[in-house]
Amino acid sequence: MKFAAIVGTNADFSYNRILLQYMKKHFKQLADIDVLEINQLPAFDQDLPYEEQSMAVWQFKQAVKNADGVIFSCPEYDHAIPAALISAIEWLFYNPKNILEQKPTMVVGVSYGTQATSRAQEQVRQILASPDCNAAVQAGHEVLVGKAAQSFNKDGNITDQAAVANLEESFTSFVKLTDALSKQTEEDNLMTLKQPFVNDAYINFPTGRLSFKEAQQIFSTIPFEIDLIDRNDRFAWFSDKPNREHVRHVNEINETVDECHPPKALPAVKAIINSFKDGSRDMVERPLIMHGHRTLIQYYALRDVDGSYLGTIEFTGSVEHIISLFENGAFADVTTGASKHGDDAATSETSADATSAASEETGAPVDDAADGAAKAKADADDTDATTSASKED
């Protein structure tokens, strides 16, 4: 089970951060707790259009959305919740949609004095229970750690055994609550299973048959990852493999294109999809550096045998291995043979726009100007991907 634990302050030093780090350590057998900071978030601004929301806000929302439950550790400022935490919560529920909806949430807190955030915590619960948030707030348990300076030792462990026992009881109960709530939706969530649902059925292709199990495991084995946006512009499927370049989560399945992309990348993504729909292009590619290695992302129009649009697939993989094979002369002897088969590929069309986008890791794939240039170029000659990739530096 995966929890997002939000440090409810932007302060450099925070006892509430220490509490969450302690929980992460102490409960590592029980759950996977990811400690999230809020000090990188801009102040909430209701007038900011969604498209202009920053990457930091998007990443924060994604992390919360993809967690099974959320823990808020809330300091008390002036008998109330700190502004920085209110602001973070405002981002979470406001635009474009409330991602705290029915999220299991737990509230904990540490204060310097004896009151131990008793007043601020009540407010967090009140906020989480408001129609704006409508979270599933844990009730009946309180984790109130007072006298912070004495409550933790220098290793960040809680010294008071009664406080540890209370925390254990509260967290165990929260895990149960989260589990119960997630079971309710398990039927919609078959995606979370590791195995396909029908183990021994076969798909008969014109070229042979595959069991469902084989189909799944082929996708998990090939050294590339595939994501599918269906014809209704929904994120429909991704190939499940370890160490993906793009980390995807089953909670994102069925999201619209708008929902599953950072706002700043959206216009470019839509431009690609629209060009696939109207038939003006079949493929767009962008070489770039991801996680420190050279990676090639290719978008293909997925078409039915009659050519009608079925969706867009994103095909991503590290090309380091291929490049090193090439550099070590692997293809030297077989060049002529390879080219015989190679001349039918649709690789050249979009090579120029790939170049222009190559520098950016997280942002938009291609911009419209580059698209135009790419097409003009494609009409003129058949540049190959190698040429365009070298132009980027």
Partner 1 sequence: MKITAIVGSNSKHSANRKLLQFMSRHFDDQDITVADIDQVPMFNENYPGGDPQPVIDLAQQIEQSNAVIISCAEHAHTVASSLKSVLEWLSYNLHPFANKPVMIVSVSSFPQGGSRAQMTLRQILNSPGVNAIAWQGDEFLLGNGDTAFNDHGDVKDEGTVKFLDKCFAEFITFAERNNAK
Encoded amino acid at 1, one letter: M
DSSP result, 202-254: EEEETTEEEEHHHHHHHHHHSSSEEEEEETTSBEEEE---TT-SS---GGGTT
Nearer to ligand FMN, 79 or 321 (CB): 79
274 binds, among partner 1, ligand FMN, none (CB under 5 to 8 A by kind): none
Q: How far is the CB of 42 from ligand FMN (least distance, A)?
A: 15
23 binds ligand FMN (CB under 6 A): no
- Select from 43, 180, 325, 376 the one that contacts partner 1 (CB under 8 A): 43
Q: How far is the CB of 52 from ligand FMN (least distance, A)?
A: 16
Q: How far is the CB of 113 from partner 1 (least distance, A)?
A: 10
Residues numbered 94-123 forming contacts with ligand FMN, rule: CB under 6 A: 94, 110-113, 115
Q: Is 255 exposed, middle or buried (0-12, 13-18, 19+ CB in 10 A)?
A: middle
CA distance linking residue 200 with residue 174, whole number of Å: 38
130 binds ligand FMN (CB under 6 A): yes
User: 265: which DSSP letter?
Assistant: G
284 membership: H or E segment, kind and range: strand 283-290
**Piece of the chain touching partner 1 by CB under 8 A; list 38-46, 183-191, 247-255, 325-333:** 38-46
DSSP β-bridge partners for residue 5: 35, 71
Q: Output the CA–CA distances (angstroms, integers) from residue 295 to 223, 345, 352, 367, in the order listed.
A: 12, 19, 16, 19
Nearer to partner 1, 130 or 386 (CB): 130
Distance spanning both ends of the chain, measured CA to CA: 44
Three-class SS string for 328-358?
A: CCCCCCCHHHHHHHHCCCCCCCCHHHHHHHC
CA distance linking residue 44 with residue 38, whole number of Å: 12
3 binds ligand FMN (CB under 6 A): no
Encoded amino acid at 65, one letter: K
Nearer to partner 1, 42 or 372 (CB): 42
Site string for ligand FMN, 35-54 (x = CB under 6 A): -----------x--------
113 binds, among ligand FMN, partner 1, none (CB under 5 to 8 A by kind): ligand FMN
86 binds, among partner 1, ligand FMN, none (CB under 5 to 8 A by kind): partner 1
Nearer to ligand FMN, 132 or 240 (CB): 132
**Piece of the chain touching partner 1 by CB under 8 A; list 19-27, 71-79, 233-241, 382-390:** 71-79
* 3-class secondary structure, 296: strand
Nearer to partner 1, 130 or 256 (CB): 130
Residues numbered 106-125 forming contacts with partner 1, rule: CB under 8 A: 119, 123
Residue with tokens 């823990």: 71
129 binds ligand FMN (CB under 6 A): no
Residues that bind partner 1 in the complex, under the rule CB under 8 A: 10-12, 39, 42-47, 77-84, 86-87, 89-90, 93, 119, 123, 126-127, 129-130, 132-133
